[in-house]
Amino acid sequence: MTGSCRPGPLPGAGLLDDRTRELDGCCRELAAGFRDAAMALDRDPDAIAGYLHLPGVRLNQFAHIPPEYRPELDFPPRVLDAAATSLGWAVLWEQLGYGDPGVTLAGPRPGLFGEVLSALTGQRQSGHYFRRLATAPSNTFFALTEPGKGSAAAELETTLAPATDGDGWILNGEKCYVGNGARAAVGVVMCRRGTGLFGIEAVALESGTPGFSAELLPAMGLRGARISRLRFDNVRIPRENVLGGQLAPTRRGLAGVLPVLNRSRPPVAAMAIGCAKAVCDYVAQQRPTLAKAGRLRLEDMLDRIDATRRLIHRACVAIDHGRMDSDRAAAVKVQAAHIAEEATLLAAELLGPASLIEHPWMEKTYRDVRAFEFTEGTTNIHRLSLFRCLRKNAYP
């Protein structure tokens, strides 16, 4: 028994337009398929290979491939187009996260690699990769974090130096905790060509390039993310793989990627509240005659999930209207990660003393949601920037 897996309509989702509402309805059906795969992936994340046919995996795979490169699919184009917006991405990931966050992250998709391509490169260069990702399902990676330089991303030490023979660049260094890093066909590596923030570049790297190696890291939870350690030992980077070379230093590299990271925070927040909602529904299903005190605590948690959803959607609508509000995006990620952890603590308490032994799905979710604290920046770091924003009286 792995619990109910029909999330139902999103309460507090008043900001959804018609096509996003249609996407929401479509996603609700898709989460169900994820629940069976969830436990298999927890044992072996590479088991995703047996679930690539799931409609939810396929929608997640193609939603962020621009329409001109997509093959003919079973989903209505307007649903796919809706999923490509920030609001649609949040709706998609909440519902898929309700099914299982590990399956959502393990499936092939352009991910942040695709987002970086769209942000930094022209159609010729991004088209080359999107066409490829549309025809051959592949994982991708986005490598920023380094051992000892996680939160201090602007201090990264992986180097990009001119090749002595004048043919492109040479990459050296190491990255860690990179999602799907050891299973991806291609990805983007953030690396240092010069000093300071504007000395950081984004380069595209094919996983088969000599000198590149990657290994999966052991993980307690969210194993479907397949966090990996990457090493670059004199890896040659062709000149054209330095992404955004045509842009000013202030608009490429880490400076150019920051808006991409901001845009990806609300969907991660949505995935976290999808998990929280799934946990609450599971408790309600397992304990239909819960005592009043317990029922009230569960209802309070559901209210907080709904309130957080509204904040997530507001952040997404602002992004879709071209207002990149990094503090709001950070705030919703912090709030949602906290709620997801709290929901699992509450569920473990309401289900009883041996709940994490008696309910394997619950135990897995309990481990999984703790990863949201770290993905897309830790709570402390976001709180520091929120504090600075509040001090300036600039919080929107």
Q: List interacting residues with ligand FAD (CB under 6 A).
A: 142-145, 150-151, 177-179, 222, 225, 227, 371, 374-375, 377-378, 380-381, 384
The CB-of-343 to ligand FAD minimum distance in angstroms stands at 18
Query: Which single residue brings its beta carbon nearest to ligand FAD?
Result: 150
Place of tokens 């093959």: 71
CA-based nearest residue to 63, from 92, 31, 21: 92
CB-wise, 16 or 144, nearer to ligand FAD?
A: 144
Helices 360-368, 18-43: axis angle to 10 degrees equals 110
CB atoms near residue 124 (< 10 Å): 8
Would you say 99 and 56 are in contact if contact means Cβ atoms under 8 Å apart? yes
Of 143, 343, 165, nearest to 232 by C-alpha is: 143
**Least CB distance from residue 314 to ligand FAD, whole Å?**
24
Q: How many CB atoms lie within 10 A of CB 159?
A: 14
Q: Which is nearer to ligand FAD, 227 or 362 (CB)?
A: 227
- Six token digits for residue 13: 């989702």
Quote the least distance from Cβ 279 to ligand FAD, whole Å.
18
Shortest spacing between CB 41 and ligand FAD, in angstroms: 13
Q: Which residues are CB-neighbours of 372 under 8 A, at least 6 positions away?
A: 268, 271, 272, 275, 333, 336, 337, 340, 341
Block residue for tokens 């600075």: 388
Residue nearer to ligand FAD on the CB measure, 54 or 230: 230
Token reading at 314: 């507001």
Please report how close the Cβ of residue 348 comes to ligand FAD at its closest, in angstroms. 21
The residue among 95 and 375 lying less far from ligand FAD, judged by its C-beta, is 375
Q: How far apart are CA 140 and CA 133, in angstroms?
A: 9
CB of residue 198 to ligand FAD, shortest distance in Å:
19
**Cβ proximity to ligand FAD, 184 vs 346, nearer residue:** 184
b/e map of 240-277 (b: 16 or more CB within 10 Å)? Answer: ebbbbeebebeebbbbbbbbbbbbbbbbbbbbbbbbbb
Nearer to ligand FAD, 262 or 286 (CB): 262
Nearer to ligand FAD, 99 or 224 (CB): 224
How far, in Å, CA of 29 to CA of 131, rounded? Answer: 28
| Residue among 313 and 333 whose Cβ is closer to ligand FAD | 333
Give the integer Cα–Cα distance in Å for 256 and 198. 10
- Between 197 and 381, name the residue whose CB sits nearer to ligand FAD: 381
* Least distance in angstroms from the C-beta of 376 to ligand FAD: 7
User: Closest distance between ligand FAD and the C-beta of residue 265, in Å?
Assistant: 11
H-helix segments, the chain:
18-43, 55-62, 77-84, 86-99, 101-106, 111-120, 123-135, 253-286, 292-320, 326-351, 355-358, 360-368, 379-391
Residues 396 and 327 sit within 8 Å (Cβ to Cβ): yes
* Closest alpha carbon to 104 in 139, 80, 72: 139
By beta-carbon proximity to ligand FAD, the closer residue of 387 and 396 is 387
| Alpha-carbon distances of 324 from 3, 200, 268, 327, rounded to whole Å | 37, 21, 16, 9
